Each structure stands twice: as structure tokens, then as C-alpha cells.
A and B are shown apart, each in its own frame.
Chain A
Amino acid sequence: MKTFRGILVISSTLVLAAGAFLPTRAIAQDTTTGSSSKSEQWIHVRVESKEGRGETVRVNVPVEMAAKVLPAINKNNLHDGKVRIDSMHTNDVDLRAILDAVRSSRDGEYVTVQNNENDVRVAKSGGYLYIHVTDKSEGKKAAAKEGKTGAKTAVAHESKVEIKVPMKVVDALFSAGKDELDIVTALKALSAHGDMELVTVKDDENTVRIWVDSKNVAD
């Protein structure tokens, strides 16, 4: 009888103690399954710098999380998930008017600038807006500094920016009204798209990549 009671005490203690740790584990397990079954989109940012100590920065953020947290931040120009831009006129260029024109136009190459300093290409194709910029000025400066005029050195120091954004995301971004960018609506529009490369910046010292996919870790 005594042995039975002793076993009862020990077993009930063990069961209750196990119960103390089990819920957290069980919840964690459930949510893991839940998050993997949904095809959630993640924004990944990867910055690799060869300067100094060779820094690498990797940031992975669920699009849904960003869309929920951003409206809760009200500081400086960010309010309710919208960024207020004091003037949409940059160097006398009305960005909104240009984007409106691009949005309502057919697919095609809208801007092509080629000169000694820069190559700029803005195009719309298959529902995407493409912006490609190659800055050759840094290459020229570097080549001049090194006392070389060879094309190879200039190319090595070129800085390239490639941006690819779905037009629906651009529409969402400018849906807030005058002088505002609606980041949250744009993020929601972005999450509706599949895996895609958004921004690539490359020069001889830094590489920046921003992309969206359904993996919760960077490449």
C-alpha cells in the first residue's frame, strides 16, 4: 500500500512537471507545422562588403510580419505604414506624373540614357517595371586615380543597380495619395507575387541583394 502511494506521488509529480514544459513545446511544434504548410513570403536582404573587415549582413523578414509591425511605428515620416515624402518633385522631375504615365502605357522601353557617366534604362514589360542604372563615373575616377585609362579598370569600378518591381506593387505604393508612399499596401501586393529578385546593386566593393521567396533562411 505504502509502495503504491509512493509511486502515485512520484508519478503524479512527474506528470505535472512534464505538463509544465509540454505546452510551450507543443505550441511551438504546432506553429512550426503551421508556418511551413503556408507558403509565406519572406523578404531577404543581403549585403556583402569587401571594404574594411569584409562585412556580411543578412536580414530575413516575413512580409506579413513587416506589414503588421510597420503600421504600429509612428515616427518621423513614417505613419500608419505610410512614408510621407515632403516633395515628390526631385530635381524638377515629377516622379508621380512619370509613374502615372508608365502605368497607363503599354509595355516598352521608356527611358534610355547612355552617356560617358551613366547608362539608365527604364522599361515596362510583362507587368514589371525595370530600372537599370550603370554608374560609370566612379570607374572613370578610379581609373584616373590609378593613372590608367584602360577600359578594363573602368569596367571593374562600375556600379550597377538593377530594380525589378511588379506594376501592381508600384500601384499599391502610390495608392496612398499625394506625397505619400503606402509601404504596407505595397508589401501586401508583393506577398501576392511569387519568388522574385527585387533589387541588385553591385560595385567592386559592395553587393546588395533584396529578394522575396518562401524560404525563411537566406541562400
Chain B
Amino acid sequence: MLILAKAALGLGTTLAMAGAYVFHEGVIRVDVDEHREGGSHVHFWLPATVVATGMRFMPKDQLDHTTAEVRPFIPALRELAKELEKYPNAELVDVSDARDHVRIAMADGKLRIDAVSEDGDVVHVSVPARLLRDVADELEEKAPGV
């Protein structure tokens, strides 16, 4: 029984630590709702660490192609991500007209993009600002000379 308790303690601690590592960078949240016939409904939460870690295992040719395309913007993206972290709660862009409303803001350290259209289509994306920096760092590492 004692061994079983020790094993449970070990497993619990390992799981908690794994959880701590996976979620320490926050969560990416994507919600897409198209309120029309056959419209898509996509809802998922993804630990930000998965993206940062996933980039290390991305096929080299695909990563090279991506870095080549975004190379001119990497320094700007890196600076922007670094600066965004300093403003955890701020409204950055708000565009609205009689039909649509798009809002880009920082909320609790996350970059939030909300788009709502008159016909009921809704897109909410929330990305931790730190993830943007990690992605920029990773791309910079793969594209030396930036």
C-alpha cells in the first residue's frame, strides 16, 4: 500500500510539473462561428508551449520557406512582441461600421483579435504576447543574418 501511495505521489507530481511546463506560457484560444448554413464552428484551446516547441520539430524545408518569406518582418515582430508585453491591458485598434466590428487589444497579457460581422459571424483569437516573441526568436535563430 505504501508503494502504491509513493507511486501515486510520484505520478501526481510528475503530471503537475508537466502541466506547469505546458501551461507556463499561457493558452492560445481560437473561436470561429459562422452563423450560416454549412458555416464552420471551430473552438479550441492550445497550450502556447506546443507552438514554440512544435516549431523545433517542423520540417526544415517548410521552416526555411517560412523564414525566407517573413525574414524582413522578423526584427519588427520581435520588437513589437517585446513591447506588447509591457502593455498587458490596452485597446490598440478598433474599427467599426454599420455591419462589422474588428478590435485588436491586449487583455491580461494576451493579444486578442475579435471580429464580429452583421450576419453573425464571429472570430475570437487570443494569443499570449510572449508566444509571439518566442516565435520571432525561433524564426530569427533559423534565419541567421536578420
Contacts and interface: CB of A to CB of B under 8 A. Distances in A.
A17 B20 contact: yes
A24 B130 CA distance: 10
A13 B12 contact: yes
Contacts of A28: 88, 108-109
Q: A interface, by DSSP: helix, strand, loop or mixed?
A: helix
Contacts of B84: 65
Nearest to B103: A58
B14 to A, nearest CB: 10
A89 to B, nearest CB: 31
B146 to A, nearest CB: 10
A27 B93 CA distance: 24
B24 A20 contact: yes
A2 B26 CA distance: 35
A179 to B, nearest CB: 23
A21 B23 contact: yes
A12 B83 CA distance: 36
A153 interface: no
B92 A59 contact: yes
A28 to B, nearest CB: 4
Interface of B: 1, 5, 8-9, 12-13, 15-17, 19-26, 72-73, 75-76, 78-80, 82-99, 108-109, 128, 130
